[in-house]
């Protein structure tokens, strides 16, 4: 017979209170049975409120041997099954967003507490044009996740290039977002700017690019993507073609809003993962199945490229929202925020 023990999770960074009624999981096992513990753990976003999906959770015992390796589900929950009582080190995340805690499995311990991603790390830097500051609200989304440090950097490409090329340029940052159509040739001409970006990605940094900022990816990894001629505007019904993302959203079709002048792309090569795609109209009046959200790896770091502007967070349930409340005429729902939040947390 397997007895279920309670879990005490002591976060080293941040934690969220959680309580539960007494039950059989608080019973002391008979002394003639081997003690085996099973419980659930929860990982929450830096804001301390919403579950964080799609993150790797690793438990290590007193000998530093990994005994559990799980992925959080759409609600940030994972299983910790068939463990002996004891003290475990819990590591969440393998990229930019992480958390570290101690789990104690023993009889008569309090109910489990979620372990929240660290708010103070990563720091986020946003480089965007003045127009993008008003239209692409990626900084607001980063702030809405609960990060303590979201900084607006220079809007001029030359100044941005000097920052990227300086020895201390991106050392403090884990997330870099570039939005709007900067003078990318001027940025690339700044000594050390591209090397600074590659070094940032080599440290495991996460890079978010709006569609207009796609030349940054071309500078870093030539040939990964190519722009396509299109006159698409308004809402597009987008299929969630990444199975993991579809599971996290609990929805396989969302709506995304393309603004006038949106940069769309041709079908990318095998090194690029297409997450969303939908039918759009080309400048010649033809329809094609366009990739709308892409993810790739450069120098060990993750790069996300979005054809649509990042919307600002909504109050209340902006994390995912009820699709029925935001349904579009074509039967899809505006999932831009829910999609981007997950990709950002998984950088």
Q: What is the pLDDT of residues 260-301, one digit of tens each?
A: 888 999 999 899 999 999 998 877 788 889 999 999 999 999
Q: Are 248 and 53 in contact (CB under 8 A)?
A: yes
Q: Is the peptide bond before 122 cis (omega within 30 degrees of 0)?
A: yes
Scored b (16 or more CB within 10 A) or e, 76-88 reads bebebeebebeeb
Per 3-state DSSP, what percentage of the chain is helix, strand, and coil (rounded to 5)?
20, 35, 45
Structure confidence at residue 307 (pLDDT): 95
pLDDT above 90 covers what percent of the chain? 56
pLDDT band at 14 (very low <50, low <70, confident <90, very high): very low
Q: List the beta bridge partners of residue 49.
A: none
Tell which CATH architecture fits domain 123-345.
3-Layer(aba) Sandwich (3.40)
Candidates 3.40.50.720, 1.10.3720.10, 2.60.40.10, 2.160.10.10; correct CATH number of 6-116?
2.60.40.10
Number of H helices, E strands in the chain: 8, 20
pLDDT in tens, 203-253: 999 999 999 999 999 999 999 999 998 777 888 889 999 999 998 888 888
CA 81 to centroid of chain Cα atoms: 27
pLDDT in tens, 38-82: 788 999 999 888 889 999 999 999 999 999 999 999 889 999 888
Model-wide pTM > 0.75: yes
The overall average pLDDT reported for the chain is 84
Query: For residue 60, which phi and psi values (nearest 5 degrees)?
Result: -125, 140
- Extents of the domains making up the chain: 6-116, 123-345
Q: List the beta bridge partners of residue 176.
A: 125, 207
Structure confidence at residue 183 (pLDDT): 92
């Amino acid at each position: 017979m397997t007895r279920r023990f309670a879990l005490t999770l002591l976060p080293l960074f941040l934690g969220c209170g959680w309580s539960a009624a007494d039950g059989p999981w608080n019973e002391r096992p008979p002394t003639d049975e081997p003690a085996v513990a099973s419980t659930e753990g929860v990982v929450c976003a830096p804001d301390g409120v919403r579950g964080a999906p799609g993150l790797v959770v690793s438990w290590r015992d007193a000998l530093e041997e990994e005994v559990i390796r799980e992925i959080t589900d759409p609600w940030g929950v994972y299983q910790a099954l068939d463990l002996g009582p004891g003290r475990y080190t819990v590591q969440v995340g393998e990229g930019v967003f992480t958390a570290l805690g101690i789990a104690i499995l023993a009889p008569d311990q309090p109910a489990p507490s979620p372990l929240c991603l660290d708010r103070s790390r990563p720091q986020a830097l946003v480089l965007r044009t003045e127009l993008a500051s008003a239209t692409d609200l990626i900084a607001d989304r980063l702030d809405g996740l609960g990060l303590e440090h979201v900084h607006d950097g220079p809007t001029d490409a030359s100044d941005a290039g000097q920052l990227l090329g300086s020895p201390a340029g991106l050392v403090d940052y884990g997330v870099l977002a570039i939005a709007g159509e900067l003078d990318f040739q001027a940025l690339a001409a700044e000594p050390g700017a591209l090397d600074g970006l590659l070094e940032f990605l080599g440290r495991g940094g996460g890079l978010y690019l709006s569609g207009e900022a796609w030349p940054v990816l071309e500078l870093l990894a030539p040939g990964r993507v190519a722009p396509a001629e299109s006159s698409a505007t308004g809402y597009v019904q987008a299929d969630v073609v990444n199975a993991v993302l579809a599971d996290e959203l609990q929805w396989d079709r969302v709506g995304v809003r393309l603004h006038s002048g949106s940069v769309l792309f041709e079908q990318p090569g095998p090194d690029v993962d297409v997450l969303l795609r939908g039918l759009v109209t080309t400048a010649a009046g033809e329809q094609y199945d366009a990739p709308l959200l892409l993810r790739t790896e450069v120098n060990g770091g993750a790069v996300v490229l979005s054809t649509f502007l990042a919307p600002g967070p909504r109050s209340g349930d902006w994390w995912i929202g009820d699709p029925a409340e935001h349904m579009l005429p074509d039967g899809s729902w505006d999932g831009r925020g829910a999609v981007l939040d997950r990709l950002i947390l998984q950088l």
